[in-house]
C-alpha cells in the first residue's frame, strides 16, 4: 500500500531525529567529562525544591491536571484518523513528541532554564530533560538526562544522570542490550563522583536473570572491581530479598536482607538486617610517613507489623536499632492512619535514644533520649481546595519541647488561576515563613507562575534567602507530529470459487479494516505485539460464513505479513409439497399442502399455506432433503420418494425440490362381534 506523501516525509525526518537524539546523548556525557578537573564542583545538585519548607517547589515544570487533559486532547486530535464506514478502526499513522521550555528568575539571585521532550518518534520512546542555571557560580548544567527505548529492537539507551546499583546517582551513558528471555543485560560507562571515594571512571555490566517460581538473581560489576549481587523471591504471601556488595576503593563491604509476610486481610509483618564494614586510613601524628588504619562497622535492624482496623483505619508498629563502633541508636514507633470523610489524619509517635562511647581506650557510655510526635492532617472540602497542616513536637531527655508547624493550602480561584500558600502555623503571616504562589494559564500552550517569600536560589537549593523576594516562571509547550512505526498486515478474502468478497470486516485485536472491491485489506503501522486476527462474523453478510478460523500472529518492527481468509457462500434450498388434483404431474396454484414437516440434517421446517418450504444459509455441497412421513396430514400418503439428494453449488442455488402426496379415504372395515 503506497504511503501518503506527508507520511513519507515524516518518516524521513524521523530518521534524522533518531540520529540527533544519539548525538545529544554523546553531548550529555562529553560536557561533564570535559570538566573532570573540577568534578567536585560540578556534582549533580539535590532535587529541586528540597530543603526548608518544601511544600512549594522552587522550580517545577510538571503539568497541572488541566494541562495534562489538554495534552491528551491534543494527542488524540493529532492522531485521529478520518472517519470510515462500518466503524473501521485503523492504527494511527502518526505519533507525537511534546516539547517543553521553562524559564525562571529569582529576584537578586539567579535564573534557570529547562528544556524537555517526551513522546514517541518512529516507534522509539523519547524522554529528555536538561536543566541549566546562571548565577554567582557561572553557568551550570545542573541536571540532564536522555532515555531512548525501542520496543521492536528491544534495546534502550540512557545518557546523562544515571542510577547505579552500587554508587547511586552517577553520570554517564548506559546501553541495555536487546531483550533476551528471562534476562535484562546492560553495559554502561560512568563517572563516579561521591564523598568518600575519589572521582573515577568505570565501565559496568548489569544483568538480571529470572528463574522459576518468581525468583530472580542479578547484580552489577564494575571495572574498578566493585560489585553488587542480589536475589529476590516472591511467593504468594512471602517476599525475600538479599544483597551483598564490595567496594575495593573504599575498602568496604555490605550485606543485607529483608522479609515481608502477608497474613491476608491486610495484615503483614516485615523485617530487615544490614551489616556494613569499612576501612579508612589517615596520616598519623606518631611519626613521619606513618598512617592510622580505622575499622568501622554498622549493624542495622528493622522490623514491624501493619494491621488494618475498621473503616479504613490502619495501625503500624516498628522497632529499629543501629549499632556502630561509637554509638547505638534505638527507636520504637507507633503510627496511625485515620480517614474521616474529606479529611485524613496521620500520626506517628516515636521513642528513641542514642548511646555514645566517648573513648575506645576508656569506654564511657553517654545516653540521650528523645521523643517525637508528628501529626499530619489533610482536608479537601472540594476539588478546587486542599489544606494540609503538619505539626511536629520533639522532647529531649530534659523534657524540653520543640514545636514546628506548617500549613500548605491550594485554592482554585478561577478556571485559569490557582493560588498556593505556605507558612508557619499558627503565625500564618510570619515574614520569614510565608510563601505565596499564583499560577496562571495564559493560553493552552503557555503558563506563568509568580512566587513571593523567602526563596531558594537555583544554584543553592539548600539555602534560603535572608529577605523576601519575587520569582517569575514561564512555561510553554508544543507538539510535533512524528511518523508511526509498526508492522504491516495485509491479505485477501475470497469465497470457495476464488471470487473476491468486498466489504468484509477483518479484526486485528482492537483494530478493524474493511476489504475493498478486490477483496483486499491492508493495515500498516500496527504496534508490535501478539494479535488475534479473524473475520468479524457479526459484520459479515448473511450470505457468507467464515471458513478460516481465528489466527494468532506475532507482529514486530516493520515486519510484513500476509494473511488470507476464505468464506463460504451460504445458499438456499427451496421446494414444494403438493397434491396433484388435476393430474397434470406438476404443482399448480391451489395444490399446495400446508404444515408438512421436512428435514435437512438437524434442521427442520414446515410448509407454508401454499405448500412451499425453504432452507436458508446452507453450506454448498451434497445435501439430502427428507419428508417426515410420520407427520403427514391425516389421510395423506407419500407418492414420491421420501428423500431427495441435492448437490448445492457454490455459485448458485439448487433446483426446486418437489414432493407429491395424495389424499386417500380409508375404507370402513366391519369386524364381527363375538
Q: Which residues pair with 540 in a beta bridge?
A: none
DSSP characters over 166-203: TTEEEEEEEEEPPPBTTB--EEEEEEEEETTEEEEEEE
C-alpha span between 317 and 349 (Å, rounded): 10
C-alpha span between 422 and 387 (Å, rounded): 10
pLDDT attached to residue 178 = 79
Which residue, chain included where needed, has cell 500496527?
A: 526
Q: How many CB atoms lie within 10 A of CB 605?
A: 15
Alpha-carbon distance values, 531 to 88, 122, 483, 552 (Å): 17, 21, 22, 6
pLDDT attached to residue 30 = 54
Neighbouring residues of 425: CB distance < 8 A, sequence distance ≥ 6: 389, 391, 405, 406, 407
pLDDT attached to residue 369 = 81
Question: Is the distance from CB of 273 to CB of 301 less than 8 angstroms?
Answer: yes
Cα 120 off chain centre by: 14
Q: Are strands 657-663 and 571-578 parallel, antiparallel or unpaired?
A: parallel
Q: How many CB atoms lie within 10 A of CB 458?
A: 27
DSSP characters over 116-129: EEEEEETTEEEEEE
Q: Which residues pair with 545 in a beta bridge?
A: 568
Q: Which helix (H) or strand (E) holds 414?
A: strand 401-414
DSSP characters over 84-136: -GGG-B---SEEEEEEEEEEEEETTS-EEEEEEEEEEETTEEEEEEEEEEEET
Where the chain has pLDDT below 70, the residues are: 1-86, 179, 196-197, 280-293, 358-365, 461-462, 650-653, 665-674
C-alpha span between 599 and 606 (Å, rounded): 9
Which residue, chain included where needed, has cell 490557582?
A: 418
Which residue, chain included where needed, has cell 524521523?
A: 14
φ/ψ of residue 19, rounded to 5? -60, -40
First to last CA, the chain: 94
pLDDT attached to residue 45 = 36
φ/ψ of residue 435, rounded to 5? -140, 135
Torsion of CA 51, 55, 61, 64, to 10 degrees: 170
| CATH numbers and ranges of domains, the chain | 330-404 (no CATH), 487-569 (2.60.40.1120), 571-663 (2.60.40.10)
Alpha-carbon distance values, 45 to 59, 129, 143, 151 (Å): 13, 15, 7, 32
Q: Which residues pair with 189 in a beta bridge?
A: 173, 203
C-alpha span between 73 and 495 (Å, rounded): 43
Question: Is the distance from CB of 355 to CB of 349 less than 8 angstroms?
Answer: no
Question: Is the distance from CB of 48 to CB of 456 less than 8 angstroms?
Answer: no
Asked whether the whole model's pTM tops 0.95, one would answer no
Amino acid at each position: 500500500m503506497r504511503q501518503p506523501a506527508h507520511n513519507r516525509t515524516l518518516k524521513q525526518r524521523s530518521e534524522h531525529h533518531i540520529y540527533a537524539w544519539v548525538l545529544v546523548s554523546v553531548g550529555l556525557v562529553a560536557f561533564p567529562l570535559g570538566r573532570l578537573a573540577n568534578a567536585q564542583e560540578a556534582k549533580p545538585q539535590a532535587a529541586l525544591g528540597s530543603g526548608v519548607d518544601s511544600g512549594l517547589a522552587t522550580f517545577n515544570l510538571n503539568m497541572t491536571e488541566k494541562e495534562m487533559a489538554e495534552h491528551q486532547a491534543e494527542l488524540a486530535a493529532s492522531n485521529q484518523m478520518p472517519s470510515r464506514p462500518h466503524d473501521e478502526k485503523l492504527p494511527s499513522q502518526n505519533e507525537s513528541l511534546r516539547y517543553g521550555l521553562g524559564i525562571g528568575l529569582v529576584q537578586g539571585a539567579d535564573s534557570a532554564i529547562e528544556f524537555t521532550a517526551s513522546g514517541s518518534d518512529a516507534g522509539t520512546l523519547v524522554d529528555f530533560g536538561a536543566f541549566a542555571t546562571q548565577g554567582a557560580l557561572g553557568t551550570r548544567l545542573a541536571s540532564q538526562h536522555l532515555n531512548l527505548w525501542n520496543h521492536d529492537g528491544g534495546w534502550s539507551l540512557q545518557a546523562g544522570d544515571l542510577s547505579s546499583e552500587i554508587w547511586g546517582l552517577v553520570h554517564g551513558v548506559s546501553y541495555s542490550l536487546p531483550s533476551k528471555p528471562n534476562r535484562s543485560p546492560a553495559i554502561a560507562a560512568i563517572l563516579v563522583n561521591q564523598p568518600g571515594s575519589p572521582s573515577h571512571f568505570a565501565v559496568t555490566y548489569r544483568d538480571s536473570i529470572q528463574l522459576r517460581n518468581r525468583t530472580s538473581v542479578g547484580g552489577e560489576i564494575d571495572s574498578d572491581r566493585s560489585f553488587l549481587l542480589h536475589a529476590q523471591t516472591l511467593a504468594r504471601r512471602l517476599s525475600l530479598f538479599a544483597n551483598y556488595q564490595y567496594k575495593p576503593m573504599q575498602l568496604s563491604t555490605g550485606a543485607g536482607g529483608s522479609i515481608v509476610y502477608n497474613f491476608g486481610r491486610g495484615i503483614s509483618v516485615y523485617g530487615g538486617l544490614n551489616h556494613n564494614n569499612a576501612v579508612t586510613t589517615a596520616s598519623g601524628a606518631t611519626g613521619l610517613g606513618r598512617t592510622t588504619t580505622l575499622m568501622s562497622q554498622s549493624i542495622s535492624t528493622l522490623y514491624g507489623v501493619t494491621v488494618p482496623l475498621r473503616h479504613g483505619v490502619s495501625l503500624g508498629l516498628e522497632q529499629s536499632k543501629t549499632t556502630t563502633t561509637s554509638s547505638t541508636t534505638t527507636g520504637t514507633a507507633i503510627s496511625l492512619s485515620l480517614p474521616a470523610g474529606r479529611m485524613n489524619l496521620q500520626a506517628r509517635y516515636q521513642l528513641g535514644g542514642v548511646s555514645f562511647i566517648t573513648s575506645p581506650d576508656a569506654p564511657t557510655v553517654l545516653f540521650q533520649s528523645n521523643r517525637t510526635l508528628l501529626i499530619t492532617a489533610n482536608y479537601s472540602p472540594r476539588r478546587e481546595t486542599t489544606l494540609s497542616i503538619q505539626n511536629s513536637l520533639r522532647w529531649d531527655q530534659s523534657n524540653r519541647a520543640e514545636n514546628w508547624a506548617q500549613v500548605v493550602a491550594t485554592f482554585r480561584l478561577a478556571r485559569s488561576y490557582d493560588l498556593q500558600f505556605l507558612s508557619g502555623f499558627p503565625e500564618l503571616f510570619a515574614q520569614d515563613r510565608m510563601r505565596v504562589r499564583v499560577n496562571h494559564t495564559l493560553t493552552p500552550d503557555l503558563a506563568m507562575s509568580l512566587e513571593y517569600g523567602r526563596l531558594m536560589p537555583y544554584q543553592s537549593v539548600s539555602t534560603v534567602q535572608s529577605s523576601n523576594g519575587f520569582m517569575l516562571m514561564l512555561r510553554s509547550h508544543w507538539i510535533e507530529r512524528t511518523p508511526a512505526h509498526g508492522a504491516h498486515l495485509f491479505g485477501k478474502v475470497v469465497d470457495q470459487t476464488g471470487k473476491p468478497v468486498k466489504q468484509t470486516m477483518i479484526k486485528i485485536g482492537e483494530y478493524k479494516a474493511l476489504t475493498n472491491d478486490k477483496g483486499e485489506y491492508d493495515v500498516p503501522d500496527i504496534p508490535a505485539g501478539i494479535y488475534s486476527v479473524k473475520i468479524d462474523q457479526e459484520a459479515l453478510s448473511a450470505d457468507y460464513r467464515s471458513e478460516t478460523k481465528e489466527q494468532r500472529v506475532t507482529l514486530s518492527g516493520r515486519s510484513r505479513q500476509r494473511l488470507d481468509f476464505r468464506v463460504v457462500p451460504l445458499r438456499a434450498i427451496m421446494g414444494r409439497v403438493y397434491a396433484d388434483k388435476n393430474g397434470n404431474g406438476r404443482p399448480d396454484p391451489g395444490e399446495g399442502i400446508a404444515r408438512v414437516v421436512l428435514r435437512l440434517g438437524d434442521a427442520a421446517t414446515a410448509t407454508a399455506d401454499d405448500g412451499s418450504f425453504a432452507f436458508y444459509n446452507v453450506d454448498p455441497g451434497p445435501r439430502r432433503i427428507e419428508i417426515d412421513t410420520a407427520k403427514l396430514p391425516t389421510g395423506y400418503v407419500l407418492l414420491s420418494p421420501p428423500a431427495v439428494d441435492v448437490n448445492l453449488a457454490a455459485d448458485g442455488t439448487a433446483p426446486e425440490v418437489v414432493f407429491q402426496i395424495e389424499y386417500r379415504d380409508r375404507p370402513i372395515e366391519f369386524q364381527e362381534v363375538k
